[in-house]
Amino acid sequence: MNILGELFEMRKLRMATPGPTQVPQEILLAGAQEMIHHRSRQMEDIINEINRELPDLFLTKQDIYILLSSGTGAMEAAVSNSFNRGDKVLVVSNGYFGERFTDICTVFGLEVITVSSPWGTSVNIEEVERAYKQHPDIKGVLTVYSETSTGAVNDVKAIGSLFRDTEVLVIVDAISGLISHELSMDDWGLDIVLAASHKGFMMPPGLAFVAISPKAWKVINEIQPSTYYFSFKRFKKFYPMAPSSPGVSLLLALKKSLDLLKAEGLSNATRRHARIARATQRGLEALGFHLFVQSPHVRSHTVTAALAPSGIDAALLLKKLNKEYGLTITGGQGEFKGKMIRIGHIGAIDEIDLFGIFGIMELVLTEMGYQVQSGISMTALSDALGGGVIHHA
């Protein structure tokens, strides 16, 4: 194909995934600034500004430590810094990433007690309490807030309350739950809260965030960490600077991300995510998809998972959306691969994005021979949004 032909084939790429998310131009440009030295006074000033803003997103008075890592690195760091080999922990699992916590704990030689619920549901807090009574010697409880493999959330507030007055550490993977959902680390009694840049922060992947309570620090200070690079003691020693070379460009992008989030306001951002999530659910139902999470009270504001209507090949639908229109939507994980679609609605997404996503979905479904009433999902979105405008930074 000649150059002119290639230009005609070019199209804007869009993502409606639970991470990475679309990155606003302002954040992309901030990360493309000229490189500065990571030990310079200029870098120190930027880090100080970042560290003043980050705790407000966790609703904590504690410092936030920034790791050059994916979210999984933060999960591993929380385990390797908080427990000794042979310690017993309780993992709350209702999806792929709850299972990941179990895998990480097993690698580090911990004895794992699991409280599980079927994918698409939330773990019952009474079962967590029952497990604790049966295993009063557990050292920690590890749970995922928003399970992106299914679109279900766990009641981390209730879990924090249950263990607040005990010596048990509550470790929360809020990687996709922070910003999109309400989370108050100090008030809820959470001890280690994890997040990552490529979710609510609207950034490229590469940074992870760890908030640590005084209760957790008492334990961490008594343990020899089974990691060097991820040692929380090292992060605390070098704070506010990084103990090793940081991702300078990502930190420049993070500063802009925090500026945008501050301008919008945390509560406004959380409400925006909730409204977009509800509209997505109504749009999918209008097209005949079956919402995977049955209970509205435990549906995530981060991602909506849905099973395809009878006769629709979910994998083919996703392939055509991507190849023909440049739109990436993720599929199911584990046993639901090829049967499920997961529309991510976290980050900078707004209602205009949503109308575009569903408009193209209607078009592709029609091309696949599925009988779709023209504009039915548009009407569902309009009704769910109530005609209002969702403002974001």
Instruction: List residues forming the annotated binding site.
Output: 342
Long-range contacts of 215-220 (CB under 8 A, 24+ apart): 215/167, 215/169, 215/191, 216/82, 216/169, 216/191, 216/192, 219/82, 219/139, 219/167, 219/169, 220/81, 220/82
Decide: 110 and 103 in contact? Cβ < 8 Å.
no
CA dihedral in degrees (94, 196, 105, 227; nearest 10)?
180
Task: Give the residue carrying structure tokens 């209607």.
Answer: 362
Structure token digits, residue 256: 């802009």
Rounded distance, CA 88 to CA 302, Å?
31
Rounded distance, CA 95 to CA 120, Å?
8
Annotated binding site for substrate: 342
Start-end of H helices in 114-191: 125-134, 156-163, 185-188
